[in-house]
Structure 1
Amino acid sequence: MPVEIHRDMADLKADFTIDQHWDSYTDEEHATWRVLAERQVPLLKDRVVPEFLAHVDALSMGGGGVPDFRRLNEVLEAETGWNVVAVPGLVPDAVFFDHLANRRFPATCFIRSMEELDYLEEPDVFHDVFGHVPLLLDPVYADYMQEYGKGGLKADGQGALRRLARLYWYTVEFGLTRSEDGLRIFGAGIASSKGETVFALDDPSPNRIGFNLERVMRTDYRIDDFQETYFVIDGFEALRRATEVDFTTIYARMEDTPDFAPGEIAETDTVLHRGTGRYHQGKGRATA
């Protein structure tokens, strides 16, 4: 079957979900998943938070082909009460937040072609499932994701979605943690990318800055390339504590404050590594 069946709007339900149609994946599509997983898992060793790869194994998401969401949900629901639901692509903000607030992770179910292994303009099933789903087995992270969804529903009525989107970007998508063993990846946008897995930890170009909630929500980001700045937290408990606050007062306090460019460093930052900016300067994109 053509890939479009995994993005078919014809069977779209009221909550913007569709059927995964797992039986319709072709041998080539399963092979694409295997190539991506088999090169990413070894690369992530000693680079990603240890829970991640342990949960990849627990969910049998390695080299077996595109996972069946029904099998994933049997494990997820039993452990943390989460489910993966299939969607044809990006969904409206309110729908996305409602899914998260009810412990449902919306995941696209189409997969990139072999010609697009290293770069895809939109999230596919490898990014959404391999990148995001393993950490939903971690109880603290799973709770954070649900609270983020609840916060999104509230922010939607406060004109603060731009601020909250930055929090998601710099934690769920491109977050780093700090431990006794050094910096580790937990963001799905890094964990599902061969290039950014190396860039985020090893390259001298980007800034690596200690996590501060308001700083993060004032910082713009790149959607078309590696990040100029990564924010580093001290673990999932620290992330949950930092975001267990009344965001309403924070939004009000930030209303008239200027934003930071993606590569900018502030005087008040806890700078773990001041980047050279060379990567983006070479492309004429540096914003520091």
Structure 2
Amino acid sequence: MTATDQIPPAGAAADWTIAQQWDRYTAEEHQTWDALFARQARLLPGRVAPEFLKGLDMLRLSRTGIPDFAELSERLMRATGWQVVAVPGLVPDEVFFDHLAHRRFVSGNFIRRPEQLDYLQEPDVFHDVFGHVPLLADPIFADYMQAYGEGGRRAAQLGMIDRLSRLYWYTVEFGLVRSGGDLKLYGAGIVSSYGESLFAIDDPSPNRIGFDLKRLMRTKYRIDDFQQNYFVIDSFADLLDQTLNTDFGPLYDELRDEPDIEIEAMLPSDTIYSRGTQAYARAKTPEPT
């Protein structure tokens, strides 16, 4: 959730936070939250990681309007020491990393319009809160997010944010996890999207590849449609362990000398859960003239 502008907009604090102004949400905006929540609440059981559903219940997120961040943060602080803070939109990398490193999750305070239920390019309060916050109630995933923030500050110093951003993209936003012998959703970009919640698990098009840190950080991704690759972690504990026990300095040195991996490419070293047809993406690619 990063921006190129380095100066906070009018009305924002130096750390880019703003007041949520919960009392200014309209009835229509609350109804939009309710519609999005109800749709995902029907779809996700059996598809999403159980830790997500546990967090949803623990934090008492519900279909009764946009959550008040102050009340939500109170419950989240008791669980894992995290809080949710409002920002006006995308924030600079360094600001984003600093908030994560101090267990503050930044969320947009606006919500999409009713005609945008199926797609919105910029993250809104439904994506940020429904998609991300339930897993912050899980102690292991909460620690992973803080570790990512701390690692992001180092990546910024080394000029490697673009590589580290792929780790966030393919785990926090679009990750799958093995659970009970099946693949489950946990990435916020998936669980907050009705269409991708179906696509990521059921569709034959995408590749589903075992998590490999270096391979993942070399792999391009797309921001404008469903993913062509999903990386599958064994558990949140393993994800945290690999993050904490990897010296990213030497890894970045290796990555500087290695080319990117194209999105749909498969490697002989890959652990393949399903080799995708890529039919969905190819159907949207114009034929060369």
> 2:5 maps to which residue?
none
| Alpha-carbon distance between aligned partners in 1 of 2:60 and 2:38, rounded to the nearest angstrom | 13
| Alpha-carbon distance between aligned partners in 1 of 2:277 and 2:286, rounded to the nearest angstrom | 13
- CA shift, 1:243, in A, is 1.1
> 2:4 maps to which residue?
none
State the identity as a percent.
Answer: 58
| Alpha-carbon distance between aligned partners in 2 of 1:265 and 1:137, rounded to the nearest angstrom | 35
> 2:30 maps to which residue?
30
> 1:276 maps to which residue?
277
- CA shift, 1:9, in A, is 4.1
- CA shift, 1:268, in A, is 0.8
| Alpha-carbon distance between aligned partners in 2 of 1:224 and 1:146, rounded to the nearest angstrom | 27
Query: Does residue 1:249 correspond to 2:250, yes or no?
Result: yes
**2:49 and 2:179 in contact (8 A); partners too:** no
**1:12 and 1:18 in contact (8 A); partners too:** yes
Select between 57-66 and 96-105 the one with higher mean Cα deviation.
57-66
Deviation digits for residues 214-266 of structure 1, max 9, x if unmatched? 01100000100000000000110010111121100100011111111111111
> 2:143 maps to which residue?
143
Change (3 A) 1:71 1:47: same
**2:177 and 2:233 in contact (8 A); partners too:** yes
Deviation digits for residues 41-76 of structure 1, max 9, x if unmatched? 110010000111221122221201100000111111
Deviation digits for residues 129-149 of structure 1, max 9, x if unmatched? 000000000000000000000
Query: Does residue 1:258 correspond to 2:259, yes or no?
Result: yes
* C-alpha RMSD of matched pairs (Å): 1.2
Query: Does residue 1:12 correspond to 2:18, yes or no?
Result: no
Query: Does residue 1:53 correspond to 2:74, yes or no?
Result: no
**1:227 and 1:262 in contact (8 A); partners too:** no
Query: Does residue 1:129 correspond to 2:119, yes or no?
Result: no
Partner secondary structure for residue 105 of structure 1: strand
> 1:5 maps to which residue?
none
Partner secondary structure for residue 20 of structure 2: coil
Partner secondary structure for residue 40 of structure 1: helix
- CA shift, 1:180, in A, is 2.4
- CA shift, 1:285, in A, is 7.1
Select between 100-109 and 175-184 the one with higher mean Cα deviation.
175-184
Superposed, which structure 2 residues align to 1:87-102 within 5 Å?
87-102=87-102
- CA shift, 1:181, in A, is 3.6
TM-score by length of 1: 0.95
Partner secondary structure for residue 164 of structure 2: helix
**1:41 and 1:53 in contact (8 A); partners too:** no
Partner secondary structure for residue 23 of structure 2: helix
| Alpha-carbon distance between aligned partners in 2 of 1:269 and 1:181, rounded to the nearest angstrom | 19
| Alpha-carbon distance between aligned partners in 1 of 2:146 and 2:44, rounded to the nearest angstrom | 26
**1:11 and 1:19 in contact (8 A); partners too:** no
Number of residues of Structure 1 aligned to a counterpart in Structure 2: 279
TM-score by length of 2: 0.95
> 2:239 maps to which residue?
239
- CA shift, 1:79, in A, is 1.1
- CA shift, 1:196, in A, is 0.2
Query: Does residue 1:66 correspond to 2:69, yes or no?
Result: no
